[in-house]
Copies of this chain bind each other. A is one copy, B any other.
Amino acid sequence: MSSEKPKKDQLANSVGIVSPQTMHFSEPLTLANGRILESYDIVYETYGTLNKAKDNGVLICHALSGHHHAAGLHSEDDKRPGWWDHYIGPGKPIDTNRFFVVCLNNLGGCHGSTGPASINPKTNEVWGSDFPMLRVRDWVESQKRLGDALEISQWAAVVGGSLGGMQAMRWSIEYPDKLRNCVVIASAMKLTAQNIAFNETARQAITADPAFNQGDYLVQDTLPKQGLSVARMIGHITYLSDDGMGQKFGRELRSGSFEQGIDEPLEFEIESYLRYQGSAFSKSFDANTYILMTRALDYFDLAREYGDDAVAAFKHATCDFFVVSFTSDWRFSPQRSHEIVNALTHAKKSVTYTEIESSFGHDAFLIPIQRYQRAFSAYMQRITISEEGDH
């Protein structure tokens, strides 16, 4: 396991300054639960150039708390690049010299796309608790429409980590002729009971906060920050590994002393770190979106409508697959990826699998790790796209 420091000049191998765009969809979208979104907005960013054959598009599907800003900076002063800047850019695994990269904020999100904090055009009030629950297939459907609107003839790859990997797998089955490669990183075909248990506990923390007001906190002008903060702390523990936390924080004290006879509050570094993470998140993320996203995770079950037979499910796919897992990821352990690879193999699909040694837990998929970057680059470089002037 090794990690690279950010390069001196952040713009040197970056997609540079980028701007989000908004696309309005006025064709009603019938959701998996039968409800209908009459119209909605999708916020997205693109990096690189679509070729004439329109076959070099790469769709990035985000995870639970992700969004459309995956690479580059929003201004010269921007201190923080997009969330996957280590993996998207010129010469990077998702090479913007070759690919036209599209990343959107999913429906139900809280970064500009229509979600629970948006205005319901029918009532002219905030959706709040009335926003429909979504499933992964609803996101795939809305992503399909975005791809059509951008005139992508066929995605060179649909790529996602964690919840994003679930979207990529669903794409491979629902729209087999619309993608040539499916990249599934640190993901699973369905959650375990333990995964669901953590998600439900996080939701309980949110809904137990009196400021949640049954989901209508925006109308009530309250924010369930305390509950959302605890929810994020729970999540955060599951993103890191026991070993990784131990290496980073150990049992170091931030304040106080273990010395006998001293009566002052003791605080471990890990406590202070987690509380900071929880608090920061609770100020920037929508609680209803958090509930919606974790429910979509819980409900996802790739093979459910194929008689619980993942092989039968994947038989519908025609693309090639790249599956990645990380040794210390206990949220979606390597075993979950093995299940994906086994099902794909039995379905006679082409699959490349790599298991990366890392102590970063589930978060590893976001972090620069040399072996991961190399394996990812090697796979992406093998993807053929039409040369400019071919058509």
Chain A: residues with CB nearer than 8 A to chain B? 32-35, 132-133, 190-194, 196-198, 200-201, 204-205, 208-210, 226-227, 229-230, 233-234, 237, 240-242, 245-246, 248-251, 258, 260-263, 266, 268, 270-271, 274-275, 278, 295, 298-299, 301, 304
Contacts and interface: CB of A to CB of B under 8 A. Distances in A.
B208 A258 contact: no
Contacts of A298: 268
Contacts of A261: 32-34
A382 to B, nearest CB: 35
Contacts of A278: 204
A274 B201 contact: yes
Given A33-B262, A200-B274, A208 B229 contact: yes
Contacts of A301: 251, 258
Nearest to A250: B193
A301 to B, nearest CB: 7
A58 B205 CA distance: 41
Q: This chain: how many copies in the complex?
A: 2
Nearest to A205: B230
A194 B331 CA distance: 14
Given A209-B208, A258-B304, A200 B33 contact: no
A37 to B, nearest CB: 13
Contact of A34 (B210, B262, B304): B262
Contacts of A248: 193
B245 A197 contact: yes
Given A201-B233, A209-B208, A258-B304, A270 B34 contact: no
A212 to B, nearest CB: 11
Contact of A198 (B35, B226, B229, B237): B237
Give the interface centre of A201, A204, A278 by most chain B CB atoms within 10 Å: A201
Given A34-B262, A193-B270, A194-B237, 6 more contacts: A33-B262, A193-B268, A197-B233, A204-B278, A258-B299, A266-B295
Contact of A192 (B210, B230, B233, B242): B242
Contacts of A230: 201, 204-205, 208, 230
A299 B193 contact: no
A139 to B, nearest CB: 15
A259 B1 CA distance: 43
